Amino acid sequence: MGDHLSGLVDSRAKGTALTFNGADVSYRELRALVGDAARVLQRLPGGRPVGLRVRKSPESVALVLACWAERRPFLLPPYDLGVDASAALYRQAGCGHVLHADLTTVDTGEPADEVPDLDGVGPLLTTSGSTGLPKVVPLPDTGVDRFTDWAAGAFGITGGSVVFSYAPLNFDLCLLDIWTTLRHGGHVLLADQERALDARYLLRAFTHARVEVVQAVPLFYRRLLEVADSPFPGVREVVHTGDAIPPELLARLPEFFPNARLRNVYGCTETNDSLIHDSDPTSGDPVPIGSPIDGVQARVDGGELLVRTPFQAGRYLDTAITDRWVDIDGETWLRTGDLVRRDADGVFHLDGRADHQVKVRGVRTNLRQVEQALQAHGEVADVVVLAVPDDEAGYRLHAVIRAVDGTRPNSLTLRSHCARLLPRTAVPSSVELTADEFPRTSTGKVDRKKLLAERV
């Protein structure tokens, strides 16, 4: 496998590499799975990225590792992304084939002369877009190398460390809890993403081995604490990320994790982790997003946070989208879209979004993208999607729709329509039909605040 990412899997590691649904996979078995996947990749035409259609499992982890070992760029969209949107992303990336975890392959029929320049790129991850499609973020292998080095040191991940992985495989969070851990010979407990809301399943998965490090969105901790009847003294690092943790939930964590350091990590797919903060469970205030981690620069421009990290991507795959990256004094910075303030100690606090993006179950979701998907339905005349605060999900999406005259679309039809185009978390949880005109502001824009206030 060469020396890329230190061999991707620690060549000296023995014992258990992965656990999934109660079954352990040794490092020897994982290397065999990687070898099987690599041989399939070697039979495909060279120079072409591949699309992966996988849920999190030992086989899908091995497939990703094989792509890295073969230096084959791979597009890893959400497994539940609609089929039309997935196909459009495979076309955009020039993927010649789509592979599944069982190593079956599908020829996409995409022409070989329409492949973007992906030299030095490994994963192609996705983030919410405002054009109706997720945006594809090409992560450079050098950035991944740097990040896994930083994460191993920051969280003390070494040979034998047991790390719990809650996020789906396409999340950038996996760079820490899966790829850093395997690179340094640790043991990853993989949570089945299809059972991510099942509290008793999560408790069984979490207690399969003595977890030392866990990184997850607040929803995981809420679910775990619903059924846990004793503390987890072996956990030394609790990382909450992906969404703001409610102070009342944070206040409960020390009872169950008495020996753990509680930390908030902030970042985005384009830059990976950028800020970190030691959380105070006694404060009762919203947790700051923190201070720059090693090697990261951060600044505020017009209230918006700009960051520059050693791990960042330098572009989207769609080269027409360039406004997020800006040149300042010869250096490339990313506009995060987050509105922040910095306190006297230099710690950043999040005040909101500069655009219409919110976090639903830890997934950044663009409300405009959801509206465009609904607007594409033939019976929808106008639509506004509202982000309604929710204690568990962070936000839930509520669509207010004015139907085309003479039609009356039902909620199930509209939600099924969205499911073909959007990730599951972006499908509105509720749909409301109205015959009334939407309220407007003095500038003629839809008064979203008034619409929301009437429904909260």
The predicted pLDDT at position 364 comes to 82
129 versus 187: the higher-pLDDT residue is: 187
Residue 326 predicted with pLDDT over 50: yes
With vertex at residue 344, the alpha carbon angle to CA 341 and CA 346, rounded to the nearest 5 degrees, is 65
Residue 202 predicted with pLDDT over 50: yes
Residue 79 predicted with pLDDT over 50: yes
Residue 298 predicted with pLDDT over 50: yes
Phi, psi dihedral angles at 201 (to 5 degrees): -65, -45
4-292 and 357-453 have identical folds: no
Give residue-wise pLDDT tens across range 210-267: 999 999 998 899 999 999 999 999 999 999 998 888 888 999 999 999 999 999 999 9
- Is CATH 3.50.50.60 the classification given to domain 357-453? no
Average pLDDT of span 133-138: 92
**Residue with tokens 């929301």, as numbered in its chain:** 452
175 vs 158: CA distance, rounded Å: 15
User: Residue 204, class by beta-carbon neighbours within 10 Å (0-12 exposed, 13-18 middle, 19+ buried)?
Assistant: middle
Alpha carbons within 13 angstroms on the beta-carbon side of residue 317 total 34
Residue 440 predicted with pLDDT over 80: no
Average pLDDT of span 301-320: 94
The predicted pLDDT at position 293 comes to 96
Residue 89 predicted with pLDDT over 50: yes
Confidence of residue 445 (pLDDT cuts 50, 70, 90): low
Say what the pTM is: 0.83
326 vs 112: CA distance, rounded Å: 32
324 vs 455: CA distance, rounded Å: 33
Give residue-wise pLDDT tens across range 365-382: 888 789 889 988 989 988
154 vs 150: CA distance, rounded Å: 6
The CATH number of the structural domain formed by 4-292 is 3.40.50.12780
The predicted pLDDT at position 296 comes to 97
The predicted pLDDT at position 367 comes to 86
314 vs 291: CA distance, rounded Å: 22
Give exposure, 121-136, as e/b (b: 16+ Cβ within 10 Å): bbbbbbbbbeebbbbb
Going from N- to C-terminal start, the domains of the chain cover 4-292, 357-453
129 vs 270: CA distance, rounded Å: 12
186 vs 33: CA distance, rounded Å: 17
The predicted pLDDT at position 430 comes to 95
Phi, psi dihedral angles at 399 (to 5 degrees): -100, 125
The predicted pLDDT at position 442 comes to 43
> What is the percent of the chain where pLDDT is above 70?
96
Average pLDDT of span 98-122: 92
The predicted pLDDT at position 224 comes to 97
> What is the percent of the chain where pLDDT is above 90?
74
Torsion, Cα 242 244 249 250, to 10 degrees, reads 90
Confidence of residue 129 (pLDDT cuts 50, 70, 90): low
Q: Are the C-beta atoms of residues 374 and 414 closer than 8 Å to each other?
A: yes
Give residue-wise pLDDT tens across range 377-428: 989 988 999 999 998 889 999 999 989 888 999 999 999 999 999 999 999 9
Confidence of residue 143 (pLDDT cuts 50, 70, 90): very high
